[in-house]
Amino acid sequence: MAEKVKKEVKVEKKPDTTYIKDYPRPPINFSPVIPPLKRIKDKTQVDVRYCLIAPFAFVHIYWDPELYEVVYDLEEPLLTEEEEKKKEEIIVAMSNMIDHETVVEKEKTKLLEYIDKRLKILAIELGIELSYESYKKIFYYLCRDFVGFNEAEPLLRDYFVEDIECNGANSPVYVVHRVYRNLRTNLVFRDIDRLQSFVEKLAQRCGKYISYAKPILDASLPDGSRVNATYTKDITSKGRTFTIRKFTKTPWTPPQLIAFGTLSPEILAYLWLLVQYKMNILIAGGTSAGKTTLLNAIAFFIPPESRVVSIEDTRELNLPRDNWLPSVARNATGVGNSGEISLFDLLRSSFRQNPDYVVVGEVRGAEASVLFQGMASGHSSISTIHADSVDTLIKRLETPPIELSPTLLNVLDCVCIMTHAIVNKEETRKLKEVVEIINVTLDGIALTNTPFVWNALENEFYSKKNSKIFEKIRKRYGIKVEDLEVEFKRRVQLLYKIYQQGIFKFEEVQEIVNEYYKKPQEILKRFEIE
């Protein structure tokens, strides 16, 4: 009888993933230290690298000889083909179990714990083996996509990036960098569906909705960043697009504007005095001319005990003070488009909130009449408006939809004209001129004085004439013009010393300004100013 041959049955061994539960949560820092960056005149010499999300995401900004331009290369952890498959498997599974509302609302530390816990659960349940190195990389991408804004998250984390611009699928995303200006990135949305999902995510995080029926999004993210997006090809020929104007939590300080050549210490000292003595200032300029940047910088000079009420359509201001009431307009919602709170409504309400200073992000319509009436009643104002000259400004204020009377325009004291210029083949922002409004005739003609002007050919700031506003301060407050001029010179020296010593940090600069109001002699002694 023939002996039976036993067949060997292979039993597939289940991967051992139990060790994953013992992995420590990978360290990740979404706010690494901001590096100092200097403008380099020779673009071919640009070669800098700094961290965006430590220790995973970096940016390398350098001169590309093939493209013949400075480029912005995003560097993220490279995944092997196997790691990519595992990551996608986990992302699909996590999408079904993660609570997006919970994710958005949780504190940062809790968020990281939340992602870490669910990654471990899923890896074990799905039988996915991961080395700790692979685990760290996948953890980063999960945090980036579920907590942040996917591929764009590192760009949003770059302190120096002002705008992020996507012109459609298969086109490189561009950024506007504070130091190196317009830069092509290596980020491209190759997948149309992925770009669509990203645009929908932007809308969701803004608390809005975008679709074929409502193909335009104009809203703000929770951090105050402004978002504009389109959804269909009949609106933009490339279909889905988006632009993000980042909200800067730490605005440029006055000495930083000196360092960038935006204005001079003399102009800043002059504006400091105007703010202290409650002169009404309007900052004019075109799009991206630096109006809000200057507005934030001027706000450093508001006396520390003063109450400030700010009014904005979209949150952009960040004023370094405690006694500050920020107000933001609200679009109509719900059935019948009810619930709108306009700039006009907010401004009218602000004068019942006992402000010493009213700061308006941008004057554009009917709210201007309320603002100027407030100025006339003694509420100091600092605001911005779209206009490239004083004549254009006056015409805007006198014609629809604003329609102010020439007599009311006389409460305006000073206009700062900002411009977006090209100097030595580099884009830059300059305070083009400072114009004092002496009188506006019944015919709407402004009589002016220009104490400061920027000479484009020489790239220098010049003082042209003595200030007429100093005379106005003398009459209003009973202060000698000679004393004002002495104080002006002291503050020029102080601002220059702060700039020379490299004191640029938000808190440090504000502390010096506040102390100068309280104990000027101590500050002058500290900086060796007589």
Asked whether the predicted pLDDT for residue 140 surpasses 90, the reply is: yes
Closest listed residue to residue 497, CA positions, set 269, 252, 260: 269
Write down the pLDDT at residue 5: 54
Closest listed residue to residue 175, CA positions, set 71, 278, 253: 71
Write down the pLDDT at residue 275: 97
498-526 average pLDDT score: 94
CB of 42 closer than 8 Å to CB of 59: no
Among 181-185, 249-253, 286-290, whose mean pLDDT is lowest? 249-253
The beta strand positions in 387-521, using DSSP E, are: 414-423, 426-440, 446-455, 460-463
Asked whether the predicted pLDDT for residue 6 surpasses 60, the reply is: no
Contacts 24+ apart (CB under 8 A), 453-458: 454/430, 456/421, 456/423, 456/430
Dist CA 266 CA 21 (whole Å):
62
Write down the pLDDT at residue 161: 94
Among 167-171, 222-226, 296-300, whose mean pLDDT is lowest? 222-226
Write down the pLDDT at residue 323: 87
507-521 average pLDDT score: 94
Asked whether the predicted pLDDT for residue 150 surpasses 60, the reply is: yes
Residue 27's pLDDT band, with cuts at 50, 70 and 90, is very high
Listed by start position, the domains of the chain span 15-159, 161-247, 254-330+339-526
What single letter denotes the amino acid at residue 337? N
Distances (CA, A) of 333 to 182, 216, 313, 338: 36, 16, 16, 6
**Among the residues of 98-233, which ranges form H helices?**
100-105, 108-125, 132-142, 153-157, 192-205
CATH code that applies to domain 161-247 = 3.30.450.380
Average pLDDT, the chain: 88
Write down the pLDDT at residue 338: 62
pLDDT single digits (tens) 59-111: 999 999 999 999 999 999 999 999 999 999 999 998 877 655 555 555 677 88
215-238 average pLDDT score: 86
Write down the pLDDT at residue 258: 95
Tokens of 337: 């488009």
Tokens of 304: 């520390």
pLDDT single digits (tens) 367-419: 888 888 888 888 899 999 999 999 999 999 998 888 888 889 999 999 999 99
Residue 147's pLDDT band, with cuts at 50, 70 and 90, is confident
Write down the pLDDT at residue 346: 84
Phi, psi at 309, each rounded to 5°: -115, 125
461-466 average pLDDT score: 88
Tokens of 87: 């990551």
Asked whether the predicted pLDDT for residue 1 surpasses 50, the reply is: no
Closest listed residue to residue 501, CA positions, set 521, 520, 530, 523: 523
- β partners of residue 195: none
Three-class DSSP category at 366: coil
What single letter denotes the amino acid at residue 152? A
Write down the pLDDT at residue 318: 78
Query: Which CATH superfamily is 254-330+339-526 part of?
Result: P-loop containing nucleotide triphosphate hydrolases (3.40.50.300)
449-471 average pLDDT score: 92
Contacts 24+ apart (CB under 8 A), 8-17: 14/127, 15/127, 15/128, 15/129, 16/129, 17/123, 17/124, 17/127, 17/128, 17/129, 17/130
Asked whether the predicted pLDDT for residue 510 surpasses 50, the reply is: yes
Position with higher pLDDT, 337 vs 342: 342
Write down the pLDDT at residue 483: 94
Examine domains 15-159 and 161-247 and report if their fold is the same: yes
pLDDT > 90: what percent of the chain?
Answer: 59
CB of 438 closer than 8 Å to CB of 452: no
Residue 169's contacts (CB-CB under 8 Å, 6 or more residues apart) are 189, 190, 191, 192, 195, 238, 239, 240
181-186 average pLDDT score: 94
CB of 289 closer than 8 Å to CB of 427: no
Write down the pLDDT at residue 222: 84
Among 263-272, 417-426, 442-451, whose mean pLDDT is lowest? 417-426
Residue 8's pLDDT band, with cuts at 50, 70 and 90, is low
Asked whether the predicted pLDDT for residue 254 surpasses 50, the reply is: yes
CB of 71 closer than 8 Å to CB of 62: yes
Dist CA 281 CA 297 (whole Å):
13
480-498 average pLDDT score: 95
DSSP letter at 335 equals G
DSSP secondary structure of 507-526: HHHHHHHHHHHH-HHHHHHH
Write down the pLDDT at residue 177: 93
Asked whether the predicted pLDDT for residue 342 surpasses 60, the reply is: yes
Among 18-22, 170-174, 333-337, whose mean pLDDT is lowest? 333-337
Write down the pLDDT at residue 10: 56
Question: Is the CATH code 3.40.50.2300 the one for domain 15-159?
Answer: no
463-487 average pLDDT score: 92
* Bond before 215 cis per omega within 30 degrees: no
Write down the pLDDT at residue 494: 97
Distances (CA, A) of 444 to 308, 374, 409: 31, 20, 9
300-323 average pLDDT score: 84
Q: Is the pTM of this model over 0.85?
A: no
Asked whether the predicted pLDDT for residue 334 surpasses 70, the reply is: no
Dist CA 276 CA 119 (whole Å):
55
Write down the pLDDT at residue 54: 94
DSSP letter at 45 equals G
* Bond before 251 cis per omega within 30 degrees: no
Distances (CA, A) of 103 to 51, 146, 170: 24, 8, 30
Residue 224's pLDDT band, with cuts at 50, 70 and 90, is confident
What single letter denotes the amino acid at residue 369? S
153-162 average pLDDT score: 93
Asked whether the predicted pLDDT for residue 56 surpasses 90, the reply is: yes
Closest listed residue to residue 363, CA positions, set 340, 341, 343, 390: 343
